[in-house]
């Protein structure tokens, strides 16, 4: 091809560069790049107050970015410092997820989570007044600011194979936070914390959980079912 600037050689075909399996596009040597190591953590945030925390990432000049923003605020990153900006008036749990890559952004780390507590911790708070504690709604991926009758726990007595049992059916969101786990449990004595037993599950999907008391209802003076929420503690 001739142009007014002189001859120009066209290259036909395509070139594939692989940064993950080799040391760049001009090398056939196996890559020496390794992803950074990141750590989960916890952050306490006063009501309506942006709060900063230092994120942990190994290596020299790691590139940190948030891959999942919190539901009740936002996070900005500068270097290894993350600043959480809570939504006005929100109190309760929240979480965000971040990763880090090496300086050339060749290889990403595994994700890590920062568990956030905004305002005064209160596991019995019910902001929207729908009868479900904010803490439980958070664990189920539901909105503690939006009352919805259809997401309230449904407790009833059901016939299972000819035997009556107390059951609990709870809708949930597939987008549950990564820093909590929840399960169904049952007891006959609310005053004895050690009497709670894990429920026997009928269904446990990303949309619902349905289970029964392991003890038959017939002959029991009183049986109770509840949702147990556990927040994971980051490893040191």
Q: Which residue has the higher pLDDT, 118 or 122?
A: 118
Cβ contact 155:167 at 8 Å: yes
Question: Which two three-digit tokens encode residue 147?
Answer: 């009352």
> What pLDDT score was predicted for residue 31?
67
Mean pLDDT of the 192-212 span = 95
Partners of residue 115 on adjacent β-strands: 42, 95
Dihedral of the CA atoms 172, 175, 178, 181 (nearest 10)? 10
> How much of the chain is helix, strand and coil, in % rounded to 5?
5, 40, 55
For residue 113, pLDDT beyond 90: yes
Domains of the chain: 41-118 (2.60.40.10), 134-231 (2.60.40)
Main-chain dihedrals φ then ψ at residue 150, nearest 5 degrees: -70, -15
Nearest Cα neighbor of 187 from 132, 226, 230 is: 226
> What pLDDT score was predicted for residue 60?
79
For residue 236, pLDDT beyond 50: no
Q: Tell me the pLDDT of the chain averaged across its residues.
A: 86
Cβ contact 232:193 at 8 Å: no
The predicted-structure confidence for 65-112, as pLDDT tens digits, reads as follows: 999 999 999 999 999 999 999 999 999 999 999 999 987 667 889 999
The predicted-structure confidence for 94-106, as pLDDT tens digits, reads as follows: 999 999 998 766 7
């Amino acid at each position: 091809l001739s142009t007014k600037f002189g001859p120009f050689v066209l290259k036909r075909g395509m070139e594939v560069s692989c940064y993950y399996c080799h040391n760049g596009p001009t090398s056939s040597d196996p890559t020496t790049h390794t992803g950074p190591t990141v750590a989960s953590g916890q952050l306490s945030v006063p009501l309506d107050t942006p709060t900063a925390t230092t994120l942990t990432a190994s290596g020299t000049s790691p590139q940190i970015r948030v891959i999942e923003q919190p539901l009740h605020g936002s996070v900005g990153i500068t270097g290894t410092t993350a600043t959480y900006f809570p939504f006005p008036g929100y109190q309760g749990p929240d979480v965000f997820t971040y990763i880090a890559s090496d300086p050339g952004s060749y290889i990403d780390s595994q994700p890590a989570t920062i568990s956030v507590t905004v305002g005064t911790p209160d596991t019995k708070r019910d902001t929207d007044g729908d009868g479900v504690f904010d803490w439980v709604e958070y664990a189920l991926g539901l909105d503690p600011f939006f009352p919805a009758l259809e997401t309230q726990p449904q407790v009833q007595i059901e016939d299972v194979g000819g035997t009556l049992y107390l059951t609990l059916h709870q809708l949930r969101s597939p987008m549950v936070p990564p820093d909590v786990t929840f399960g169904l449990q049952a007891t006959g004595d609310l005053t004895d914390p050690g009497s709670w037993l894990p429920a026997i599950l009928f269904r446990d999907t990303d949309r619902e959980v349905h289970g029964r008391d392991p003890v038959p209802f017939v002959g029991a003076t009183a049986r109770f079912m509840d949702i147990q929420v556990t927040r994971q503690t980051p490893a040191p």
